[in-house]
Chains A and B, each alone.
Chain A
């Protein structure tokens, strides 16, 4: 059918050139910053570019990166999860306790921890969606609950605040192949978590840009009312996102547990904001509907490089927090500018 409309003025349309197309990518700022920080530490320290050095900062970046990518998906979908850090500790402690204290099969322990993590993620989503409360507050509550439970329950069961003796659990070595192993590449001792990180970033990018679910994530984060109107299953999407973040928490919990074969009850506490910072540095909007998984991975890379770079440069590592704050502020300012240029309203 053909409907002809009277002429309307179109003063807001600007031609999109190559530079503008590039600037529209959410991760462009993080890519530039990552390159700058890479060059800075490469030139100013001896250790940064050595195989051992690279392996170290890549490992740091990978643990933060897995979470940052999951948190970025959630933020694009319009929500936060402050319980993501504590979840890393919770899952590690569950596996540690049920295997060392109660002799549960280690594979079963992995499944139990994952199931509990997903249930907590689903509970977060359920409360947020049923009440309409901001996820910031709901998951802040979850965060404190997990933090308290992690310490209290660990103390009750083990009498201390850490789990020891994981290495002696039957099957530990087999599980380590997936979560705690490493291999040699270009003279580097590459930890398996880096492979997980790259795979998850690629998968998340693919989902976001090429799948129906990705379209739904952008839609519910961008305009929840209109997405609901055209039939996007909003509840399912948000539920999936919270469970993904919780699942990522489980993965990082396992990667840490099987790397060092011990877990502290305080593991992960205080890192929830770093994940959000990585996602924001990578171009995610706090208002939802905009962002990128690659950006979040780059944000984590910046964090990992800086964390280790400061050590290699033998500076006081208190500078890390100051740097992180500055980076966050710079990132939101750059994003604000880029979005205005590219015509994306927040």
Chain B
């Protein structure tokens, strides 16, 4: 059996006296799309921040491809290829598509000057080939001139181009129109074919159910459900998200 891409074990997080995550463990398989579900305050955002290395967990172990990771900080996750795309802040709107795609990974000559022509050419290629995003005329366009769906697509294209291995999408569909949402969910399915794992954090169970191989439901900082798609249903997920462990138990007794 091949090792999971990321396995987290016994992760807890305290902010002062508040415990926001309690003993959470789960795996993300290679090429797997995992839905991370839960109501506001369930601990989803904290988990996302821990997985992307932006905040430390209070306790917990992390294994990447079977290897123990001593400390999940931003440098480590960057090297491992974890990329988080936040709903409104995936890109810098005042900058061009090219500058966004290469943000933090600029192609420079030995004096630190950017090779703009080369970067523009690669960006154009990325836009054409990584994800076919219609309606973008030039990589020199400002991101602010793109629609929400196009901007998300550019962010995903960037992650794929730089061969990221785990994409974490934090509420990516909440600001998108229906067709853009369909497009985005379509990308996730295709990413799977390329061996890229992704975590889809969302409120919208229907979006999650459409594309995710597995669903993890969080409630008050605890994992209360972790089920493959074929072993669960939208109804069960709804019960778990809305009413927590109690609702889940009642659903299983058939009285929800």
Residues of A within 8 A of B (CB): 1-16, 24, 210-216, 218-219, 222-223, 225-232, 285, 289-290, 342-345
- What are 13 A-B interface contacts by the 8 Å CB criterion? A3-B130, A6-B186, A8-B150, A11-B147, A211-B112, A212-B112, A219-B92, A227-B103, A229-B85, A231-B74, A232-B104, A342-B142, A345-B144
Contact A5 B130 (CB under 8 A): no
Q: Mark interface residues in B123-165 (1 if CB within 8 Å of A CB, else 0).
A: 0000001111111110001101111011001000010100000
Number of contacts between A and B (CB, 8 Å)? 151
Asked if residues A6 and B183 are in contact (CB atoms below 8 Å), the reply is: yes
Inter-chain contact B103/A219, CB cutoff 8 Å: yes
Query: Which of B95, B136, B179, B190 has the most chain A CB within a 10 Å cutoff?
Result: B95
The reply to whether A1 and B86 contact each other, CB–CB distance below 8 Å, is no
The 3 A-B residue pairs whose C-beta atoms are closest, nearest first, are A10-B135, A222-B92, A230-B104
Interface residues on B, range: 35 or more
Q: B83 to A229, Cβ gap below 8 A?
A: yes
Which residues of B sit under 8 angstroms from A344, Cβ to Cβ?
Answer: 93-94, 142, 144
Contact assessment for A228 and B74 in the assembled complex, using a CB-CB cutoff below 8 Å: yes
Name B145's closest neighbour in chain A (CB-CB): A343
- B160 contacts A1, C-beta separation under 8 Å: yes
Q: Identify the closest chain B residue to A220 (Cβ).
A: B92
Is the pair B114, A212 in contact by a Cβ cutoff of 8 Å? yes
Instruction: Find chain B residues with CB under 8 A from A10 CB.
Output: 134-136, 147, 150
- Tell me, yes or no, whether B116 is within 8 Å of chain A by CB: yes
B92 in contact with A218 (CB, 8 Å):
yes
Query: A8's contact among B86, B99, B134, by CB below 8 Å, is which?
Result: B134
B9 contacts chain A at the CB level, 8 A cutoff: no
Q: Is B61 an interface residue (CB 8 A)?
A: no
Instruction: Take A12-B145, A225-B86 as given contacts and tell me if A215 and B99 are in contact as well, using a CB distance cutoff of 8 Å.
Output: yes
Asked if residues A8 and B160 are in contact (CB atoms below 8 Å), the reply is no
With A9-B147, A231-B104 given, name 7 new contacts (CB 8 A). A3-B130, A8-B147, A8-B179, A9-B135, A215-B103, A226-B92, A232-B103
Secondary structure of the A contact surface, majority rule: loop
Q: Which residues of B contact A7 (CB under 8 A)?
A: 134, 179
Contacts of A226 in B (CB 8 A): 86, 89-92, 103
Name the residue on A nearest B115 (C-beta). A210
Per the bound structure, the CA–CA distance linking A227 and B158 in Å amounts to 13
In-complex Cβ contact of A13 among B108, B137, B149, B186 (8 A): B137
Report the separation of the CA atoms of residues A186 and B197 in the bound assembly, to the nearest whole angstrom: 67
Q: Do residues B113 and A210 form an inter-chain contact, with CB atoms below 8 A?
A: yes
Q: Say yes or no: A289 contacts B94, CB within 8 Å.
A: yes
CB distance from A306 to the nearest CB of B (A): 29
A229:B52 contact, CB within 8 angstroms: yes
**Assembly CA distance A99 to B52 (angstroms):** 53
Q: Which chain B residues border A8 with CB–CB below 8 Å?
A: 133-135, 147, 149-150, 153, 179-180, 183
Contacts of B137 in A (CB 8 A): 13, 15
CB distance from A213 to the nearest CB of B (A): 7
Report the minimum CB–CB distance from B174 to chain A (whole Å): 16
Shortest Cβ distance from B106 into A: residue: A212
**In this assembly, does B182 line the interface, its C-beta being within 8 Å of a C-beta of chain A?**
yes
- On B, residues with C-beta under 8 Å from A are 52, 54, 74, 78, 83-86, 89-95, 99, 102-106, 108, 112-114, 116, 129-137, 141-142, 144-147, 149-150, 153, 158, 160, 177, 179-180, 182-183, 186-187, 190-191, 194
* Complex contacts, B135 vs chain A, CB 8 Å: 8-10, 13
Instruction: Establish whether residues A16 and B144, one from each chain, have CB atoms under 8 Å apart when the complex forms.
Output: no
Say whether B145 contacts A13, CB under 8 Å.
yes
What B residues does A219 contact at CB under 8 A? 92, 95, 99, 103-104
Measured between alpha carbons, how far is A2 from B161 in the docked complex, in Å? 11
B114: chain A residues within 8 A (beta carbon): 210-212, 214-215
Q: Which residue of B lies closest to A287 (CB)?
A: B94
Residues of B within 8 A of A231 (CB): 74, 78, 104-105
Most chain A beta-carbon neighbours within 10 Å: one of B74, B102, B113, B191: B113
With known contacts A219-B95, A226-B90, A5–B141 Cβ distance under 8 A: no
Nearest CB of chain A from residue B58's CB, rounded to whole Å:
21
Contact B183 A218 (CB under 8 A): no
Question: In the complex the two chains form, what is the Cα distance from A230 to B86 in whole Å?
Answer: 11
Hey, which chain A residues are within 8 Å of B134, CB to CB? 5, 7-8, 10
User: With contacts A8-B135, A9-B147 known, is A225 near B94, CB below 8 A?
Assistant: no
- Contact status of A225 and B89, CB under 8 A, knowing A3-B160, A10-B147, A212-B114: yes
Q: Given A215-B114, A289-B94, A345-B144, are A3 and B187 neighbors across the interface (CB < 8 Å)?
A: yes
Task: Judge whether A12 and B99 touch: CB under 8 Å.
Answer: no
Q: A233 — nearest CB in chain B belongs to which residue?
A: B104
Q: How far is the CB of B123 from chain A (nearest CB, A)?
A: 13
Residues of B within 8 A of A343 (CB): 142, 144-145
Contacts of B95 in A (CB 8 A): 215, 218-219, 222, 289
Q: Which residues of B contact A2 (CB under 8 A)?
A: 129-130, 132
The closest CB in chain A to the CB of B91 belongs to A226
Known: A218-B99, A231-B74, A232-B104. A5 touches B133 (CB 8 A): yes
Please give the distance in Å from B33's CB to the nearest CB on chain A. 14
Complex CA–CA separation, A5 to B137 (angstroms): 16
A40 CA to B209 CA in the complex, in Å? 68
Chain B residues within an 8 Å CB radius of A213: 112
Nearest Cβ on chain B to A335's Cβ, whole angstroms = 13
